[in-house]
Amino acid sequence: MEPRSKMGELVRKLGGYLKGLAVLIALFIFIGLASLTGVLATNWIDSFGSSNTYTRAATAPFGTSCNTVGIEIHGCIATYVGNSFDPSCDTITSSQDVVGYIDQAKRSGAKGILLDIDSPGGEPQAAAEIGDALHASGLPSVAWIRGYGDSAAYWVASAATSIVAASSSDVGSIGVTQSYVDNSKQDANAGITYNQLTTGKYKDTGSPDKPLTTDERAYLQSQLQILLDQFISSVSVNRHLSEETVRGLSDGSSMLGEAALQKGLVDKLGFEKDAQKELERLTKEKPVICWPQYSF
């Protein structure tokens, strides 16, 4: 009787192990099917182009099968990443990168350039560098203002051969600012003393821990005026508008795309497909776009 009892106990244990194994296998199958379903669902959604990032990331490697280079000008524009003047900028487009993409477009034999612009602005020097590179490339270019094409971003857009803007986009803001918060009174109330140690009266101009003197204000305002004149001159040349006309629009305000069309700041209203049609008109070829920001 003892051997039979041990045999029964062994059978019961084996049955328990088999049940556990069955549950584990079922769990793996469930997880696998769920993952597969997620992948299929994602691919199905992306195949319809709902994810712009995905479709751009999936383009052919730069310079292989495309005849047009697409470049995104998003967020704040700076000369290089890490050089943003505004700590609130979570996205930065560097002129260093953009100029490189434009140069590659020229060397690769591309027929045109499409700029996707959605930016509130940035550094004047960065905008000037991109504009100069567009002109030097000699390639037809279309700037599509998607959301914001303000300040330095409009400076960039104006250098394109043609500008297409969404009717509800924000365009213009031709002006220059260097405004900042003066913390000197707050520091004084907190018992903080600013010890001025400079080799010239303008060396610490703009320090937030000291009041701005009359001479310093005049000095900074003169520098801003020089930058504004450069901005106005560039837009005037790029858009074939008189400097007087552009100066009349240089109060720093922006306007909807529809108003920008009436003022001559853009050429057409539309979406990306309309910008591509405009580029096709300029290049005489249907654009096949590669986005180097995603292709490398």
Task: Please report where in the chains the tokens 């913390």 appear, as a residue.
Answer: 183
Residue 49 region by backbone torsions, left for phi larger than 0, else alpha for psi between -120 and 50, else beta: left
Catalytic residues: 151, 203
Task: Please report where in the chains the tokens 């996205």 appear, as a residue.
Answer: 91
Buried/exposed 199-234: b ≥16 CB within 10 Å, e otherwise? eeeeeebebebbebeeebeebeeeeeeebbebbbeb
**Cβ atoms within 10 Å, residue 250:** 19
Task: Point out which residues pair with 92 in neighbouring strands.
Answer: 76
| CA-based nearest residue to 210, from 178, 185, 179 | 185
